[in-house]
C-alpha cells in the first residue's frame, strides 16, 4: 500500500477552545493508528488563535503516549526559533520515552510574524544559519565524540531521523547535500514543487541515514461520501486562505454552501493557487486525482492535511482515504531506512 501520513495543525474551530482542538488531535491520532497511517506529525506555529500546536514537542509527547505504534513527529520544528541543543534535548527525551517512533522535520521559516519572532527572543537573521544549525543538531543527536564537552541528555546517540522541510529550492539543495529525506510543503506553497523535487533527486548524496532520495509531498485531501459534500467541507479551508489575504487570521470557520459568495475574483485566484495541491471529492474522484499526482511527482509518500471544521467529518475523511490508499500504486519504490 502507498505510504500516507497525517499532518495536523491542531486547528481550533470557531466556537471551540484550544483544549477541544488538542483532545481532537489525540482522538484523530488514535484513529490514524487503527487505520494504518504511517506517521502523525504536528506543526509549529506561534501567536495564531486558530492553531493549538505551538508547543509542538509537548503535543507530540501527548500523541505518542496515547498511541502505541504509529510514528509521531514534527512537521515541523522551525529551527531558527530554537537553539539546536534545546531541540536535541526535547526530541532526545521523546525518542527515549518512545523508542523507534519519533521523527524530526525541520523548517527554516519562523512560522509566525516578525513581532512574535522578537517575542521568541530570537535574532531575526537566525534563519541564515539554518544549515549550520541542522548540522549541530544532527551531531548532538549522534554518537558522543571524543573530547565532546556539550551533549544533549537525553539526546546523545538517539539518532532521531531528521527531515528537511521546505517550499523552495533552498531546502531541496540542503536535503540533497546532507543526504536527508525531503518534505515539500505543496499543501500551501506548490509553485516550485516539480523543480525542487528534480533538484533534490539529481543532487542527492547518500548518507548514514539515507541511501537514496526520499520525497514526501504535502497535500490537502478532503473526502466524503459524495463530491458535493466534500466540496462543502473544503469551503472552511478556502475561507481560511481568503482571510489570510485579508489580514484576518482566526479560528477555522464552519463550511458554507457557496464559496463564490465569500471571496472576490482576485481572492479566488490567490487562494486557489496556494491550494492547487488539494484533492477534494468522493472516493472515486480523490482516488483518480491522487493517483495522477503520485504518477506526476513520483512521490515516495504523501503527508495529508485536512482542515475540516467538524471533527467527526474529519475522522470520516481519513477513514475514506485509508480505503483509497489500498488501491493507490506507488510510482517509486519505498526507500530503505525511513521507517
335 φψ region: left (φ > 0), alpha (ψ -120 to 50), beta (else): beta
Residue 120 predicted with pLDDT over 90: no
What mean pLDDT comes out for the span 24-49?
Answer: 96
Peptide bond into 247 cis (omega under 30): no
14 φψ region: left (φ > 0), alpha (ψ -120 to 50), beta (else): beta
How confident is the model over 42-54, as pLDDT tens digits? 999 899 999 999 9
Identify the residue with better confidence: 31 or 331: 31
How large a percentage of the chain has pLDDT more than 90? Answer: 89
Per the prediction, the chain carries an average pLDDT of: 94
Residue 169 · residue 192 · CB < 8 Å: yes
What mean pLDDT comes out for the span 93-108?
Answer: 97
Residue 169 predicted with pLDDT over 70: yes
Integer-rounded Cα radius of gyration of the chain? 19
| Domain topology for 4-325 | TIM Barrel (3.20.20)
Instruction: Output the pLDDT for position 121.
Output: 65
Using a 10 angstrom Cβ sphere, with 0-12 exposed, 13-18 middle and 19 or more buried, the burial of residue 269 is exposed
What mean pLDDT comes out for the span 154-168?
Answer: 97
Instruction: Output the pLDDT for position 128.
Output: 84
Residue 102 · residue 72 · CB < 8 Å: yes
* Phi, psi torsion values for 189, nearest 5 degrees: -145, 70
Residue 174 predicted with pLDDT over 60: yes
**DSSP calls for 250-302:** -SBPPP-S-GGGTS-HHHHHHHHHHTTTEEEESHHHHHHHHHHHHHHH--SEE
Residue 240 predicted with pLDDT over 90: yes
pLDDT bucket at 333, cuts 50 / 70 / 90 = very low
Instruction: Output the pLDDT for position 337.
Output: 41
Half-sphere exposure of residue 44, counting CA atoms within 13 Å on the CB side?
27
Identify the residue with better confidence: 338 or 247: 247
What mean pLDDT comes out for the span 93-120?
Answer: 86
The distance from CA 173 to its chain's CA centroid, rounded to whole angstroms, is 19
Amino acid at each position: 500500500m502507498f505510504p500516507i501520513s497525517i499532518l495536523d495543525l491542531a486547528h481550533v474551530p470557531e466556537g471551540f477552545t484550544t483544549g477541544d482542538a488538542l483532545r481532537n488531535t489525540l482522538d484523530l491520532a488514535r484513529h490514524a493508528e487503527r487505520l494504518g497511517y504511517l506517521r502523525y506529525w504536528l506543526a509549529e506555529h506561534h501567536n495564531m488563535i486558530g492553531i493549538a500546536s505551538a508547543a509542538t514537542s509537548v503535543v507530540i509527547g501527548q500523541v505518542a503516549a496515547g498511541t502505541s505504534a504509529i510514528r509521531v513527529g514534527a512537521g515541523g520544528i522551525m529551527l531558527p526559533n530554537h537553539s539546536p541543543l534545546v531541540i536535541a534535548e526535547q526530541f532526545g527525551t521523546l525518542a527515549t520515552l518512545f523508542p523507534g517512533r519519533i521523527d524530526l522535520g525541520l523548517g527554516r521559516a519562523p512560522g509566525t510574524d516578525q513581532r512574535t519572532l522578537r517575542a521568541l527572543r530570537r535574532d531575526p537573521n537566525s534563519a541564515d544559519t539554518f544549515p549550520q544549525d541542522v548540522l549541530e543538531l544532527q551531531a548532538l543527536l549522534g554518537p558522543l565524540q571524543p573530547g565532546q564537552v556539550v551533549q544533549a541528555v537525553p539526546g546523545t546517540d538517539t539518532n532521531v531521523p531528521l527531515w528537511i522541510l521546505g517550499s523552495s529550492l533552498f531546502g531541496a539543495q540542503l536535503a540533497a547535500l546532507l543526504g536527508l529525506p525531503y518534505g515539500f510543503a505543496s499543501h500551501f506553497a506548490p509553485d516550485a514543487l516539480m523543480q525542487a523535487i528534480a533538484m533534490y533527486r539529481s543532487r542527492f548524496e547518500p548518507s548514514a541515514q539515507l541511501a537514496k532520495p526520499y520525497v514526501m509531498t504535502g497535500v490537502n485531501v478532503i473526502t466524503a461520501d459524495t463530491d458535493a459534500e466534500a466540496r462543502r467541507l473544503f469551503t472552511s479551508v478556502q475561507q481560511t486562505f481568503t482571510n489570510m489575504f485579508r489580514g484576518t487570521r482566526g479560528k477555522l470557520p464552519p463550511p458554507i454552501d457557496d464559496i463564490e459568495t465569500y471571496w472576490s475574483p482576485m481572492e479566488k485566484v490567490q487562494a486557489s493557487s496556494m491550494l492547487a495541491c488539494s484533492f477534494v471529492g468522493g472516493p472515486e474522484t480523490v482516488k483518480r486525482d491522487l493517483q495522477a499526482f503520485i504518477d506526476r511527482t513520483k512521490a515516495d509518500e504523501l503527508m495529508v492535511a485536512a482542515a475540516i471544521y467538524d471533527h467527526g467529518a474529519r475522522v470520516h475523511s481519513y477513514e475514506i482515504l485509508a480505503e483509497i490508499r489500498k488501491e493507490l500504486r506507488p510510482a517509486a519504490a519505498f526507500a530503505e531506512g525511513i521507517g
